[in-house]
Every structure is written in C-alpha cells, then in structure tokens.
Amino acid sequence: MSVPDLNLLVALDVLLQEGSVAGAAERLRLSPSAMSRTLSRLREATGDPLLVRAGRGLVPTPRALELQERVGALVDEGHTLLRPSKALDLAAVERTFTMRTSDGFVENFGPSLLARVGAEAPGIRLNFLQKPDKDSAPLREGRIDLETAVVEPAMGPELRTQALFRDRLIGAIGSSHPLARKKISVKHYTEARHVIVSRSGFDEDSMEAKLLPQHLTRHVASSVGGFATALAVARYSNLIATVPERHTASLREGMFSFPLPVRATGFSVSLVWHPRLDADPVHRWLRACIRAVCAPR
C-alpha cells in the first residue's frame, strides 16, 4: 500500500483558496509548471479534476468544494501541531474581537458562539458588525478581525479563508399563508407575491437573484435590506421570502419553509481573515470556536 504524500494537502488547500495555478504557485514559491504538475498529482490522487476551465479562469468542481471544507481544517491542525508548544491561558485573556457578518448570521449562530466563548474565555468580548458591502479594506487595515463571506475572485488574494458550511436557498412563508403546508409548484412560486433582499432596492441587485435561474420572473411586492427583515415581513403577510437555509434556521421558527421548485445554485459560506492574524493563538482559537458552532449537526 503506497503512503500518500501529505504535502499535497497544503498544495490543495492553497489551490482551492486561490482558484488559480499561478496564484497558488506564487503563494507556495513554486514555478507555474511545478504547480501544474502538483495539480495533476492531486487529480490523480483524488480521481477528480478539482479545478476546471471556465472562460479565462478556473472554477472548483463539486468534489473540490466538498474537500475545501475539510482540507483547510486539516492543514490548520498540522500547522498547530508543528508550532512550538505554548500554553494558552484563555481564562486570563482580555481582548476584543470585531467580526463583520451578513444578515442572519448573528441571529442564527451568535448565541451559541457567545456561550462557548463566555465559558472558555470570559474576558473576550465579541463585537458584531453588519456587512454593508464586500470591500475587504477593513480586514487589511485591521479595523475588523474576521468576517464571513461567499468567497469571490474579487476578494483580496492575500486574505485567508476557511469554508464554514454549504448553504442553499429555500422559500419561507407565514403559517397563515394560503400556500402553507402545500407542495409548492413553479407556478405557485412565480405567481405568488415576493419580498426580496436588495441593498439598492433594485430587483437585479437582489442577493438571491444571482443564485436563481436567469429566466425566472417573480412578482416582487417589496424589497428590504436583509434576510432577517425579509423573514419578519413574510411571517405576517402573504409574501414569500427566498432565504439561505442554514443562515436563517432560527429566524424561521414557526414559519412554513419549503424547497424551491426551481434549480438554485448552492454556495459556501467562509470565514475570512488577514494573514497577520494567522498564527495568533487566541485568534486561532476563536476561528476554531466559530467552525465548531457552524459545523453541521
């Protein structure tokens, strides 16, 4: 039985973060040709192409997205094991961390995270800020310590990312809605009245529209600035809110939720931070807490 080359895990982690052979080569200080050979070895080892051409760039395969949620944690753990041992007295730590998140994250995961942090490190304060845009400058400039995001190519290449969970869009309506407890068809969905989430107020900017089929037309009755507000409106009206499933689980209690009758694109929610905090032991511990709270149950 051949022994796997565990160095490939590091290469795979960087490739999936960068989504680029050239970017991964630069990070690992390899030549592009050497990085290409490493990608070939990874494809052979996993039996999957992992990254495939789409226009001028590369996009991850479903298998790559599945691996991304695990390989980053393995590499992080490996780095931890190989660092000099230093006892961390969390009970004595006095620090404030600022985390910027999308609407719904704090409502859904915040209570569990605060309970865990309070039990292990009562001197740590967590400040949560809403995320008004995708500008990564606050991370680079040190104004925030962490953020959650759906990672896109426009995000700064120097930032570190770790996948937290996969999510998908679902529909949610109030318990008194005429469609509650029915099997929702495409006709039901498209002809019903909707509340959408759009920071600009324009339909084409709605957060969920980019994940829905392009040809889909919905009857939009209202636009709001966040998923939590959309659910609050839908709960007491005859409007449908289309929201991320895991992101809004606690916010949908008492509502009727249903799988969309149209094909929607799934997505990964990731934790993002600046590399200057990569080796900070308290920051690493906090990242592990967030991963644990967000792990599938």
Domains of the chain, first to last: 7-82 (1.10.10.10), 90-159+271-294 (3.40.190.10), 169-265 (3.40.190.10)
Q: What pLDDT score was predicted for residue 262?
A: 94
Of 93-97, 156-160, 161-165, 260-264, minimum mean pLDDT range: 156-160
Residue type, 199: R
Exposed/middle/buried for residue 116 (C-beta within 10 Å: 0-12, 13-18, 19+): middle
| Angle made by CA atoms 254, 228, 249, in degrees to the nearest 5 | 50
**163 token code pair:** 């996948």
The string of pLDDT tens digits covering residues 160-189 is: 888 899 999 999 999 999 999 889 999 999
123 confidence band (pLDDT: 50, 70, 90): very high
pLDDT at residue 80 above 80?
Answer: no
Buried b / exposed e across 236-256, counting CB within 10 Å, b at 16+? ebebbbbbbbbbbbebbeebb
Q: What pLDDT score was predicted for residue 103?
A: 74
Q: What pLDDT score was predicted for residue 126?
A: 96
pTM: 0.68
Of 74-83, 125-134, 149-158, minimum mean pLDDT range: 149-158
86 confidence band (pLDDT: 50, 70, 90): low
Return d(Cα 263, Cα 84) in angstroms, integer: 49
Of 79-88, 113-122, 263-272, 276-285, minimum mean pLDDT range: 79-88
Q: What pLDDT score was predicted for residue 135?
A: 77
Mean pLDDT of 59-69: 83
154 confidence band (pLDDT: 50, 70, 90): low
Of 3-7, 140-144, 225-229, minimum mean pLDDT range: 3-7
Q: What pLDDT score was predicted for residue 23?
A: 87
Mean pLDDT of 225-244: 94
